[in-house]
Amino acid sequence: DAGVIQSPRHEVTEMGQEVTLRCKPISGHNSLFWYRQTMMRGLELLIYFNNNVPIDDSGMPEDRFSAKMPNASFSTLKIQPSEPRDSAVYFCASRIWGGETQYFGPGTRLLVL
């Protein structure tokens, strides 16, 4: 079975540009999580969805960040406008509702110049 798929794997952009990160969860998983990893703050939960509905977005750093899950097989994390401090690795993870384990995608390494 395919694991969690994220695209792009690497993104380099200039400050002020819009960035869209994409995630396809494992088929049958109905919980989806977005995390950010930086040297300073480590791994942080940004937002998560259950059955396509955002449950907790308290980790989203600012209004520049938004996430959507229009259907069970696709989610996006958008940053508009991007800033250099947004540079990080962004992970998507999925889990069966009620299950114990989250399975992570390979991550998207974002560099904002």
> Which residues of the shown chain bind another protein in the complex (CB under 8 A)?
31, 33, 35, 42-45, 48, 50, 55-56, 58-59, 89, 91, 93, 95, 98, 100-104, 106-107, 109
Q: Which is nearer to another protein, 10 or 17 (CB)?
A: 10
Vertex 81: Cα angle to 105 and 69 (nearest 5): 40
Could you give the 3-state DSSP secondary structure of residue 19? Answer: strand
Residue 5 burial (10 A CB sphere; 0-12, 13-18, 19+): middle
In the complex, least distance from residue 109 CB atom to another protein, rounded to whole angstroms: 7
Least Å from the CB of residue 86 to another protein: 17
Distance CA 67, CA 35 (A): 12
Of 66 and 81, which has the nearer Cβ to another protein? 66
